[in-house]
A and B are shown apart, each in its own frame.
Chain A
Amino acid sequence: MIYSYYPGCTLKNKAKVLDKYARISAQALGFELEEIEEWQCCGAVYPQATDEIATKLASVRVLNSAKGKGQDLVTVCSACHHVIKRVNDDMRQNEDIRTRANNYLQLEEPYTGETQVFHYLELLRDKVGFDTLKEKVKNPLTGRKIGAYYGCMLLRPSSVIQFDDAENPTIIEDFIRALGAEAIIYPYRNECCGGYISLKEKELAGTMVDKIMDSATYKGAEEIITACPLCLYNLKKSGEANKLKVHYFTEILAEALGLKDE
């Protein structure tokens, strides 16, 4: 199966390992990620205002590109997924946004939200299947106590994102178990890490990171995985709490599949 792939800006630079291990793991699991040509940055935050159109156009172009190839669209970064999926929902549900975006883009055929958007983790759950993934594991992560950090963008608002139960998600824990590790469930796994606020107000982000790290440590996690480059940065750099190791989920995926460089 071939999917259109939108890596996003950070996966081309500071989060190269997130991208690299997503691609090589996909090959091992039997699907292919075909990077969209000339994609543009999604903007990293969803434009909530009713009168913002220009800030949604990069997402519409990506979605329309996947539509042109007759492929579903796959994202890995939480922020890219959040923005593109919500803009796609706007194009399906909101006639005003749909009309204004299409007037601007002047596509051969209007885009009306036809593309299906998947996060990579959803592919693992819904297309590959965690049972199949478990069978493909060559180096089970036995004995490791790993906490999933969902953050906010993968889950909310659940009415649009439809990724998992927003208050009690299980997808990343199921992923961890499929790789042979112990999934540590802790209360703050779906609370915000501070997001973009860490650029100007590191102290405020730090208080949030401390709560997350304290919560995970208290429950027995020895490491944390995430899908979001900004979450990874904040969890590593902000706050004073005992720091756990933080990895991208694709790193432990590749490790378990026997594909990771040492």
Chain B
Amino acid sequence: MQKANTEQAQLVKEISNVDTRKCMKCGKCSASCPSYEEMDIRPHQFVSYVQNNKVNELMESTSLWKCLSCFACVERCPRDVKPARLIEAVRLMVIRQKGQNYLLPDEVPELLDEEVPQQLLASAFRKYSK
């Protein structure tokens, strides 16, 4: 399991192009995150998990579906760590697996109302499905 986790951590770093060693654990990313209270693993912890090769836990985290890609954490990080890119990389590792899509086309009709903009559907499919 540990070896798999190490390999996965390397994959996260490759997909994200983030150097987790730059993080100085100031917590500004989590303090800026509008989804903070909904996340089981917060942005600053996310960085630490990758650094410590604990990627299996991240792949099971609900935080993958709470990140808004609003880039507040990216903008406000004093060390340019880009936590959003790490979350994106792990999220992709999940949905790229067969059967792991978070949104299925069959679910969509009951989620619609007359005013739902096309932009919402396009972005949700990009984020929740491969």
Contacts and interface: CB of A to CB of B under 8 A. Distances in A.
Nearest to A205: B68
Given A45-B126, A51-B14, A208-B34, 13 more contacts: A10-B119, A13-B117, A15-B117, A41-B118, A45-B69, A49-B92, A50-B15, A77-B119, A157-B74, A194-B34, A199-B121, A230-B117, A230-B123
B122 A49 contact: no
A69 interface: no
A229 B111 contact: no
A198 interface: yes
Interface residues of B, number: 38
Contacts of B117: 10, 13-15, 229-230, 232-233
B121 A157 contact: no
A191 interface: yes
Contacts of B89: 48-49
A157 B71 contact: yes
23 contacts: A9-B119, A15-B117, A44-B119, A44-B122, A45-B69, A45-B122, A48-B16, A48-B84, A48-B89, A50-B17, A152-B68, A152-B70, A152-B72, A156-B70, A156-B74, A196-B120, A200-B103, A201-B66, A204-B35, A204-B66, A230-B117, A230-B119, A230-B123
Contacts of B126: 43-45, 47, 55
Contacts of A232: 117
B118 A14 contact: yes
B28 to A, nearest CB: 13
B106 interface: no
B75 A49 contact: no
Contacts, number: 128
B85 interface: yes
Contacts of B128: 200
B116 interface: yes
B7 interface: no
B24 to A, nearest CB: 19
A180 interface: no
Nearest to B121: A199
B2 to A, nearest CB: 25
Contact of B75 (A79, A157, A194): A157
Contacts of A50: 14-17
Given A48-B88, A166-B75, A200-B128, A192 B70 contact: yes
